[in-house]
Amino acid sequence: MTVPALTAETRWRCTLCGNLTRFDVTRTARVTEFLHFDLAGESEVEETEVLSETIESVRCRWCNAVDQVELVARPGAEGAETPAEQG
């Protein structure tokens, strides 16, 4: 089972227990980081550019179900920013 991709209007919901807020997400990401070194040689990431990202699995923190998430609308997503077919 694949994990549905999140959008600006949706969030995950565990289909088994209804959890909306806590998930362990395993993902593979390819990123370019801007490392800024100080004079002592310590580095800090100041910018991160995500080139590609794949979510491999999502585990519910409440019931430990793996990849048992569905997309549901975020609160207030309906009607907000939805272009009405009028005018």
From 27-35, 40-48, 58-66, 71-79, span contacting Zn ion (CB under 5 A): 58-66
Q: How many residues bind Zn ion, per CB under 5 A? A: 8
By the rule CB under 5 A, 63 interacts with Zn ion: yes
Could you say which of 3, 13, 19, 58 contacts Zn ion (CB under 5 A)? 19
Asked if residue 60 lies in contact with residue 70, where contact means CB atoms within 8 angstroms, the answer is: no
Task: Tell me how far CA of residue 46 lies from CA of 32, 40, 42, 87, in angstroms.
Answer: 11, 17, 13, 46
By the rule CB under 5 A, 29 interacts with Zn ion: no
